[in-house]
Structure 1
Amino acid sequence: MNSGQNHTQPFSNVANRLDRLPISRVHYQVLTALGIVYFFDLADLFTLSNVAPALIEHWGIKLSTIANVTAASFLGMFLGASLGGRLSDRIGRKKALNWFVFIFSVSSLLNALAWDIPSLIAFRFLTGLGVAAAMIVTNSYLAEFFPSNVRGKYISFCAMIGLIGVPITNVVSAFVIPLGPWGWRLVFVWGAAGLIYFLSTRRLEESPRWHENRGEYGKADAIMKRIETRVEQEKGPLPVPKEAAPVQTVQKAGYLGLFKGRNLKITIVLSAVWIFETFGFYGFASWVPSLLKSNGITMEKTLWYNVLHSVGAPLGALIGSMISETFQRKWILAASAFLTAIAGLLYGMTFIPLMIIIFGFVVNITERVFTSNLYAYTSEPYPTEFRSSGSGLAYGLGRFSNIFGSLLVGFIAVQLGYVSVFLFIGGCWLACSVLLIFFGPKTNSQQV
């Protein structure tokens, strides 16, 4: 077995060793473990939007109060993504991921025990913190582990696994919420089931790229040898990796480096895209049930409309995965953002039930093509030492912006009307498309 190591001088060859591995059970075990994280991570993001109509009905609260709870969730997401990414760069991908999955699962269970709005706000804040941090670390791990020529495909596929959690969560909600004034609490209990992730972590290795970047070449090599042995047992002899390239070990990679040189443009573009994506995505996903209910559609119909919409989510992620390596991701992102803007505008201009279902379904397809590729895209442009910090900052700023975005959507809905909300959402998606067309870097098949 050729490890590509040179013991007289530090050399970086983990990327080449990983890139020449055929997809095997090792990769599928990683997909299983991280797919569970994605599943319950994304499921939990939609629990509040499903629960909101029941809170309005049973607790007698206003739409503006739901906006305050949503804002607390996004404040937690901002801190989780920003600090969680940085922590992952310091203590390792696997260790950080274990902590964050535990935090968001236990916090979701606490949501089910909330006794008033302040307690719900506090628990949603903690849930948001764990959810966003886990998402960032998951994407960094996937970007560093999978071969560069199929990296986008498998990150998008993992997102598809996660997005299956959206319609399933909506179905669970549609069944349990009508059970009684307490039915909404069961939705949060469902969100806490992410703890099953810990059943799949026994053979999940730390990222060898992370060890190597810290100058821990022995640890990186030991992990690679274990991975290569397992792949060889399944696939037979492995090809020799490309020759090692010299590496500069970065001991300290703080946030300041995100605003220097090539990183500056990447940080600005990705942050702006995530901000507009968050306005557009959560403006639709988080508010549609409450907006439909406030316009005279019953809670039961609202919940089932949401179920039918969200069936498009995993289909969109599957399409996103299938085309992720066929076209440059920046062009996939720009086109799908444009189509989401058009479908969202058409959704807001009809109250015909069939059209609501069709346009909502289309929005979920095109938006998930976008999101599944954006998760891959965000992790790619940064070097290893900045990957979690940079993608975490961009993702976190998007979530932070929705503290104001949720309040803004609430204001638009109350003051300007239902259709105006969808004009705002469509404008956000158009802004994403324009940014990516003119400023988005190309990333496909490049070593990260």
Structure 2
Amino acid sequence: MQHSNAANRLDRLPISRFHKITLLAVSFAYFFEFADINTFATTVPKLIKLWGVTVNQVAYVTSLSFVGMFFGSLIGGWIADRWGRKNALTITTLWFAVFSFASVFSWDILSLGVLRVLTSAGLSAMTVVAVIYVNEIFPAAVRGKYQAYAIVIGICGTPVTNLVAAAVVPLTDWSWRLVYLWGSLGILFLLFTRHLTESPRWHESKGQYEKADAVLSQIESRVAAEAGPLPEPADPVAVTTRQSKAPLRLLLQKRYLVPTVLLSVMWVTQTIGFFGYSSWAPTLLAQEGLSVEKSIFYVALTTVGAPLGCFLAAQVTDRVERKWCLVVFGVVIAICGLFYGLTFNPIMIVVFGFLVNFFERGYTAVAYAYSPELFDTRTRSLGTGVSYGLGRLSNAVGPLIIAALYTGTGYHSVFYFIAGSWLVGALALAVFGPKTRQARLIDPPVEAPTAPTTA
């Protein structure tokens, strides 16, 4: 067998129980990924009082966490290429869960900071793998919608975690540790693993056509048992040689360099913009005079908008060109973020914070679907990991800039900076972003070696 025809065989499948279980498993991993992203931000106001932590120390921990995310993205992509998408998803989810559990026992800001860097690396690695896995398992016509549905469920981890923090952090001087214990429950992802299959596209990209065919046959039998006889797939694109491993220098080729640079800009501005709000809002509100309890509670209320924004993305991502969704959402986030930062009225904080979370999570859901579409199977893990990792790495500088702006020119300047980041990303996508609505995850054929000619 020279081709398992994975793309066409997967794309003609109706959505079935197999897809829904896969969606639930990925959503569970996302839930605790989003939960763990916010644990440090929600406990910092308490640690400032208990340990005498300064704003600059918060900035350094947050900054180094994004360095961890950069390396985690690269490692996640490498694991996904080397050991498969399913194994990588399991490894990376366990990774962040274990280090979140270890954070429960931290004794000062240095120990907690080290564990946060390691946790963050796992969070970023898991995100890269999950984005790739959903894009390769679900049919092309609806992959954006189901990527967004996974985020709809997963993003609930943000408001739930903030509400958990609002309830437990004020209780005692040690109860903040329960927030990290909560984040470690991602380890329960192990309960889902036996229901998942490896990506046939990954097997195919490695030249393992018999394994790809076996997985496809298993998926098809499960779907057919539920939906009845399946239509015949389209004819395969001829592949006659095994695709070689994608070296990092491959991204320097024009075909891959342009999308890598564009996506890096997109993820840089999204990272600074999103974490500028989520990581700093509780701390800055507390520094400006609101009580720790109120600052955490207000931010918890604003994050209720997050799952609703993902649901909006699920409705539009396969109907409207993805790049224009991202452009519009980015501009709206910038405007709402400015109003959020220019008021101390509790109602306005909640309203505009809600809108920021609503549109930002919709933006991220669409971006998760958009990013892998700009690469083929051979470079999908590499390109997605590098661009997403560079975005996260950029926020090694972002918190330091925010801390400098806050201490140097005041609270409002932080939000001007964050809004500007969103506008830069929107402009880059509007001018340089390719259209992908009609694109399909079908790789170009690999040419067979040319036989030598004789005179």
Q: Which TM-score band applies after superposition, normalised by the shorter structure?
A: over 0.9
* CA deviation string 1:354-404 (max 9, x = no partner): 111111011111111101111111111100011111111111111111011
* CA deviation string 1:152-197 (max 9, x = no partner): 0000110111111110001100001011111111000000000111
The answer to whether 1:202 aligns with 2:194 is yes
Unaligned runs of 5+ in 1: 1-6
Q: Residue 297 of structure 1 corresponds to which residue in structure 2?
A: 290
State the Cα distance separating 1:445 from its structure 2 match.
3.6
Q: In structure 2, how many angstroms separate the alpha carbons of the residues matched to 1:321 and 1:209? A: 24
Q: Residue 410 of structure 1 corresponds to which residue in structure 2?
A: 403
Instruction: Give the conservation status (yes or no) of the 8 Å contact 2:4–2:212.
Output: no
Q: Residue 398 of structure 1 corresponds to which residue in structure 2?
A: 391
The answer to whether 1:438 aligns with 2:427 is no
* CA deviation string 1:318-377 (max 9, x = no partner): 001111111011000000000000000111111111111111011111111101111111
Q: Residue 248 of structure 2 corresponds to which residue in structure 1?
A: 255
Q: In structure 2, how many angstroms separate the alpha carbons of the residues matched to 1:383 and 1:366? A: 29
Unaligned runs of 5+ in 2: 442-455
State the Cα distance separating 1:249 from its structure 2 match.
2.8
User: RMSD value over aligned CA atoms?
Assistant: 0.9
* Identical residues among aligned pairs (%): 46
Give the SS at the match of 2:301.
helix
Q: Residue 453 of structure 2 corresponds to which residue in structure 1?
A: none
Q: Residue 307 of structure 2 corresponds to which residue in structure 1?
A: 314
Q: Residue 3 of structure 1 corresponds to which residue in structure 2?
A: none
The answer to whether 1:242 aligns with 2:234 is yes
State the Cα distance separating 1:12 from its structure 2 match.
5.2
Aligned partner of 1:277 among 270, 276, 280? 270
Q: Residue 180 of structure 1 corresponds to which residue in structure 2?
A: 172
Instruction: Give the conservation status (yes or no) of the 8 Å contact 1:12–1:246.
Output: no
Aligned partner of 1:86 among 65, 78, 100? 78
Structure 2 counterparts to residues 1-400 of structure 1, below 5 A: 7=1, 10-11=2-3, 13-247=5-239, 248-400=241-393
Q: In structure 1, how many angstroms separate the alpha carbons of the residues matched to 2:180 and 2:438? A: 39
Q: Residue 423 of structure 1 corresponds to which residue in structure 2?
A: 416
2:397 partner letter: F
* CA deviation string 1:182-227 (max 9, x = no partner): 1111000000000111101112001110000110000000000000
State the Cα distance separating 1:86 from its structure 2 match.
1.9
After TM superposition, what 4+ stretches of structure 1 lie above 6 angstroms from structure 2?
none
Instruction: Give the conservation status (yes or no) of the 8 Å contact 2:51–2:109.
Output: no
Instruction: Give the conservation status (yes or no) of the 8 Å contact 1:35–1:158.
Output: yes
Number of equivalences: 440
State the Cα distance separating 1:11 from its structure 2 match.
2.7
State the Cα distance separating 1:151 from its structure 2 match.
0.6
2:162 partner letter: N
Instruction: Give the conservation status (yes or no) of the 8 Å contact 2:4–2:213.
Output: no
Q: In structure 2, how many angstroms separate the alpha carbons of the residues matched to 1:422 and 1:118? A: 28
Q: In structure 2, how many angstroms separate the alpha carbons of the residues matched to 1:350 and 1:240? A: 59
Q: In structure 2, how many angstroms separate the alpha carbons of the residues matched to 1:265 and 1:12? A: 30
Give the SS at the match of 1:403.
coil
